[in-house]
Homo-oligomer: A and B are copies of this chain.
Amino acid sequence: MKNIRPEIISLLKEGCCAPRLSELAVKTGSKSNTIHYNIKRLEADGTIKAYKAVFDYRKVGEGFCTFVLVNLDRGEYKSPEEIGRKLAEYPEIESVDIVTGGWELLLKVRTENIDEFYEFSKKVLSMTGIERTQSLSSLRQIKTEFVRL
């Protein structure tokens, strides 16, 4: 009998959830089919991108969170956006932003521990186009994804 929880967690990280129309109906004082109608519109016009779960990441093997500031090669032919999209493919990366200031990209990376992060950074952050990085590791998450921990 295989343990299905890791698979459930993985699916819930990016989707496999839905709005609770009945709860929204009570809280807004509307009927649930009114909520249904409005949510379908928000989904159709791209306002809502996904429904997902937020975890205590220490309990799902992603307790080590690091913010990585990235400088890109000036001579490189790829744009920051192209490199960012490539990085966004990695499941360890929670967010990718092109930012102002002394750095081009800001990544938020989640791994099990510092060793796994080292492996990740060897693999990923050495990819062409990346010149230099600076990592800020999280010692304590107080709020994430608008959810207080």
* A residues whose Cβ falls under 8 Å from a Cβ of B: 4-5, 7-9, 11-14, 16-20, 23-24, 27-28, 30, 34-35, 38-39, 41-42, 45-56, 59-60, 65, 67, 69, 81, 84-85, 87-88, 91, 93-101, 103, 106, 134-149
Question: In the bound complex, how far is the Cα of B4 from the Cα of A41, in angstroms?
Answer: 12
Report yes or no: B81 in contact with A142, Cβ–Cβ below 8 A: yes
Complex alpha-carbon distance, A20 and B17, angstroms: 5
Q: Which residue of B lies closest to A41 (CB)?
A: B5
Picked from B19, B34, B56, B142, the residue with its CB within 8 Å of the CB of A53 is B19
Q: What is the CA–CA distance of A131 and B56 in the complex, to the nearest angstrom?
A: 30
Query: Which of A9, A24, A39, A143 counts the most chain B CB atoms within 10 A?
Result: A143
